[in-house]
Amino acid sequence: MARTANFLGIVVVVVFGLLPFFGSTHAQLQLNFYAKSCPKAEQIVLNYVKEHIPNAPSLAASFLRMHFHDCFVRGCDASVLLNSTTGEKNAVPNRTLRGFAFIDAVKSLLEAECPGVVSCADILSLVARDSVAITGGPFWQVPTGRRDGLITNVTEANNQIPGPTNNFTTLLTSFGNQGLDATDLVILSGAHTIGISHCPAVSPRLYNSSGPGGIDPTMDTEYAENLKANKCKTPNDNTTRLEMDPGSRKTFDLSYYTYLLKRRGLFQSDAALTMNSTSLALIKQLLSSPPQFFFDQFAKSMEKMGRIKVKTGTEGEIRKQCALVNG
């Protein structure tokens, strides 16, 4: 515990030390940034989401994940959208991302309305928020004014995006590197209440751990045996879909945290949240509070994440196509 406390102390120092830098970077992000340059921009995004997401609600989880993965590599600059054989799209965590054509369609509408004005980074941020809200999840403020990055790097993505096998210390370090803390870690992990995964992400817990039959001893045995018998019959099955919040994956609620306390979190990174007294206390607080408390905390952490190392002013560019840098 002393180690954890020391690490948390270091994170606090790092975050405070970066505040002046973050402040100057964020100065040009503002609500309704496009009020004069493209006044219909946010409504165009919302209208497209309202038209299409009800027919494909699982995309809400995809866009939330895409936004998260984007922000953790070079900041929230839409670098995850760029096509490149050595780019982020080819990183292991990003090979199962979906929804790129949806983002391109929104971009086309905005280019028709206001050519060269609205960034792909802002589009992704807005689509993620609107998709989650439309499907019954929390709403959060999205100040805009982000610019698009020019660089995408597969190695950076593989190294910087938190993984399903990470322990608590590794997770906290990864979040701390982005100016996020233990509270953000627990709250943003709550996004696992919606969406799906695949067997390779959980197979080490089912086949290669220290417990009987290779099962991770921190995982509920009945849950693990059911996964092995009915879902992940082979460790490398990359087609079977696994609900991260069984029975409730289409509803943005607290049941994910309930499963964590029953040792039924799918990933090692989920189980890790119960191994630290600080994060465990927050999980219990969430479960003993009205659902709106979780929604409010999630909104705060998403707003914080959406400001990670953003490019503003003359940094980067406004891409004409989200998959390609200009020129």
Whether residue 196 contacts residue 243, with contact meaning beta carbons closer than 8 Å, is answered with yes
Q: How far apart are CA 206 and CA 221, in angstroms?
A: 10
Orientation angle between helical segments 41-52 and 100-113, nearest 10 degrees: 140
Q: What is the separation, in whole angstroms, between the first and last Cα of the chain?
A: 53
- One-letter amino acid identity for 252? F
DSSP, collapsed to helix, strand or coil, labels residue 222 as helix
Whether residue 218 contacts residue 250, with contact meaning beta carbons closer than 8 Å, is answered with no
Provide the token pair at 256: 């994910």
Q: Which helix (H) or strand (E) holds 259?
A: helix 255-261
Catalytic annotation, pick one of 26, 52, 67, 69: 69
Active-site residue 52, yes or no? no
State the chain's maximal CA–CA distance in angstroms. Answer: 63
DSSP-derived secondary structure letter, 28 = T
Q: Which residue has the tokens 């050519």?
A: 115
Sign of the C-alpha dihedral, residues 272, 278, 284, 286?
A: negative
Q: Which helix (H) or strand (E) holds 243?
A: strand 241-243
Q: Tell me which residues are annotated as active site.
A: 69
